């Protein structure tokens, strides 16, 4: 696939107020990186929505504003990248208007282009389902790190594009999010979207 024909989504797509709808709409889109003349592309197959100050699972719950979360308060369409457990970088898309700290976590991608580069970055010899499975592997495979935090997602280096791939309602599932038990009732919210039967989707296998 030649990503020269894949245009970035306009930033306005990310600046509406319904973060759950955006999380669903990002299924099937392409997450593209071009670092040091190395192009890698993954199709987004799993997302989670985090609804800002009202969502107990969100870093911005209750209006929390810290050096880490300040990126979430930017206008939608930039990257929110943070280090999780001191080990993995996680990539999120900031959504909503300015000062509305919504975000969508990209939990899994299916490799589309640049697989040898992904394997090299992950220290793998042979491709398997773990390439792009889980948010920590997304960033490893695509070469995303903390330096990309707050970067606008219409730059040539890092962006989300649309190649015309269509996701029918029958092609995806909606579930509660993973690993947010601390959020009480909010842990049960149907804010996770995943492609049915896709081997790169994280967590327990679902039909």
Segments in the chain forming alpha helices (H): 19-25, 115-122, 135-142
179, pLDDT greater than 50:
yes
The SS3 of residue 155 is coil
155, pLDDT greater than 90:
no
41, β-bridge pairs: 32, 113
Percent of the chain with pLDDT over 90: 89
60, pLDDT greater than 60:
yes
Q: Using CA atoms, how far apart are residues 40 and 34, in angstroms rounded to an integer?
A: 7
201, pLDDT greater than 60:
yes
Q: What is the pTM of this model?
A: 0.95
Q: Write the CB contacts of 199 (distance below 8 Å, at least 6 apart in sequence).
A: 129, 133
DSSP character at residue 140: H
pLDDT at 206: 62
Look at residues 122, 91, 112 and name the one whose alpha carbon lies nearest to residue 42: 112
Q: Max CA-CA distance within the chain?
A: 45
Query: Strands, DSSP E only, in the chain?
Result: 30-35, 38-51, 79-84, 88-95, 102-113, 158-161, 172-175, 192-195
As a whole number, the mean pLDDT across the chain is: 94
pLDDT at 109: 98
Q: Are 198 and 45 in contact (CB under 8 A)?
A: yes
128, pLDDT greater than 60:
yes
Look at residues 58, 175, 45 and name the one whose alpha carbon lies nearest to residue 107: 45
pLDDT at 203: 84
32, pLDDT greater than 70:
yes
Q: Write the CB contacts of 36 (distance below 8 Å, at least 6 apart in sequence).
A: none
Centroid of chain to Cα 153: 12
Query: Strands, DSSP E only, in 55-183?
Result: 79-84, 88-95, 102-113, 158-161, 172-175
Average pLDDT over residues 55-84: 96
152, pLDDT greater than 50:
yes
Look at residues 172, 146, 152, 165 and name the one whose alpha carbon lies nearest to residue 45: 172
pLDDT at 12: 95
2, pLDDT greater than 50:
no
pLDDT at 1: 46
Q: Using CA atoms, how far apart are residues 125 and 29, in angstroms rounded to an integer?
A: 27
């Amino acid at each position: 696939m030649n990503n020269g024909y894949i245009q970035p989504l306009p930033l306005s797509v990310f600046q509406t107020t319904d973060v759950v709808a955006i999380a669903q709409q990002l299924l099937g889109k392409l997450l593209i990186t071009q670092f040091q003349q190395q192009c890698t592309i993954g199709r987004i197959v799993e997302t989670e929505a985090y609804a800002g100050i009202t969502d107990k699972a969100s870093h911005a719950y209750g209006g929390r504003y810290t050096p880490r979360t300040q990126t979430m308060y930017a206008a939608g369409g930039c990257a929110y990248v943070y280090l999780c457990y001191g080990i993995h970088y996680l990539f999120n898309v900031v959504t909503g208007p300015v000062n509305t700290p919504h975000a969508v976590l990209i939990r899994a991608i299916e490799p589309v282009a640049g697989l040898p580069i992904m394997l090299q970055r992950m220290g793998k010899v042979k491709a398997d389902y773990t390439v792009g499975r889980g948010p920590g592997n997304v960033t490893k495979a695509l070469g995303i790190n903390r330096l990309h935090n707050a970067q606008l997602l219409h730059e040539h280096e890092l962006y989300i594009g649309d190649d015309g791939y269509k996701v029918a309602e029958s092609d995806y599932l909606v579930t509660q999010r993973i690993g947010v038990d601390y959020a009480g009732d909010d842990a049960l919210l149907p804010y996770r979207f995943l492609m049915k039967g896709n081997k790169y989707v994280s967590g327990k296998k679902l039909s």
